[in-house]
Homo-oligomer: A and B are copies of this chain.
Amino acid sequence: MGLVVQKYGGSSVADAASVKRVAQRIAETKRAGNDVVVVVSAMGDTTDELIELAEQVTPVPSGRELDMLLTAGERISMAVVAMALGNLGIEARSFTGSQAGVITDSAHGKARIIDVTPGRISQALSEGAVAIVAGFQGVSQDTKDITTLGRGGSDTTAVALAAALQAEVCEIYTDVDGVYSADPRIVPAARRLPHLAYEEMMEMAACGAKVLHLRCVEYARRFTLPIHVRSSFSHRTGTWISDNPPTPDLASGTLDEEGTEVEQPIISAVAHDRSEAKVTVVGVPDKPGEAARIFRAVAEAGTNIDMIVQNVSSVATGRADISFTLPKTDGATAVAALRKVQPAIGFDDILFDDSIGKVSLIGAGMRSHPGVSATFFDALATAGVNVEIISTSEIRISVVVRGDSVDEAVRAIHTAFDLDSDEGATVYAGTGR
């Protein structure tokens, strides 16, 4: 047996009863002979409640102080989980991000990990204790101030610690039992994926799959650390994320319930995302550099653009339309920035459309299989779904469609690529988040 890092999210430690259940699970892992490091998020809604408290005091809290405040959340959960383990006769010691050696830059609220020096964790493990570590937090290398890692922070803490400690696996416990071939609320026949390559999971995260954050998968890929996404409510194998499907020696995750090896499909999953909006800049003078001026204006407003399409310029007018997608929440800022440069660039108008959705097909197999695009667009055409923007990578095809066509598009593609499970919806054991 070796070293296992387990991460439990806020819903897994929402109250005392959940904490006790999680402690039981950690105790089992420890008693099976493993060294165990556990990363926890704040209990349930604690973080939201702390943010609300801050808002009662000031509309613009300092980043340093907001981080100091929010890190109280994990401090509570980690101490309580350690106590619950103690109650089961397992020695456990909790550590803040700072104590665990999670060294970051000084960007409060969205700090990046720049080093992990888990000396105290190794010490605790060598003394036979389980180490419980606060997720989402670190300490700034320059200022020694407490920082938080922002979105996906606790998952990233877990992966970073697992990499630094050379753990065998980083287990991410959540309230669904793995990554699915599509959202089971839309496709009841979606199936749990036993394995995904890092880049597939990264594309899925970038395309709206919420189970793992892009950042933590990137980190795991850099260190070739296997991630196992699984449910804290059941003991079944979830989804393994690694370079190659794991061998039976490495873990039980390679075999499905019947003990037969799962064949890696060509196409892995259909993802969708309703969080984006589309901006169309109408009548852009068709001169070199005009598109660059538009995107520079948007970038300087702090917005990340996702997909871009430029219409063929009209010979009559010498003008073209440029459309792009961006997070809905950045819409107002981006449009305002464009209005400012409108006189200088001389385009005609700006259209903002937040009734769109993005649907993506992902699979490492597609790079070596011809005909994927044909099947993809045939399926959409047959379902009567109109495509507004297209973007592709080696292992992904994404389209922007009307928001009310998203479900239909996901279902049509899922069926067209034979992703539907034989077992129907029964495999989905999650709570639907």
Instruction: Give the B-binding residues of A (Cβ under 8 A).
Output: 16, 19-20, 23, 50, 53-54, 56-62, 64-66, 68-69, 71-73, 75-76, 78-80, 82-84, 86-87, 92-94, 99, 120, 144
Contact = CB atoms under 8 A, between A and B. Distances in A.
Contact of A84 (B57, B83, B120): B57
Nearest to A46: B72
Q: Chain A at the B interface: mostly helix, strand, loop or mixed?
A: helix
Nearest to A56: B16
Contact of A68 (B56, B66, B79, B120): B79
Nearest to A54: B83
18 contacts: A16-B57, A53-B76, A54-B79, A54-B83, A57-B83, A57-B84, A61-B86, A62-B82, A65-B82, A65-B86, A66-B79, A68-B75, A68-B79, A68-B94, A69-B75, A69-B80, A69-B83, A72-B79
A62 B86 contact: yes
Contacts of A66: 79, 83
Contacts of A78: 68
Contacts of A86: 58, 60-62, 65
B53 A68 contact: no
A383 to B, nearest CB: 51
A83 B71 contact: no
CB-CB nearest 4 A-B residue pairs = A16-B56, A69-B79, A58-B87, A68-B79
Nearest to A78: B68
A407 B66 CA distance: 49
Contacts of A87: 57-60
Give the one of A68, A78, A94 with max B CB within 10 A. Answer: A68
Contacts of A54: 79-80, 83
Given A16-B56, A94-B65, A76 B80 contact: no
Nearest to A76: B72
Given A60-B87, A65-B92, A69-B79, 18 more contacts: A16-B53, A16-B56, A20-B57, A54-B80, A57-B83, A57-B87, A58-B83, A60-B86, A61-B86, A62-B86, A65-B80, A65-B83, A66-B79, A68-B75, A68-B79, A68-B94, A69-B76, A72-B72
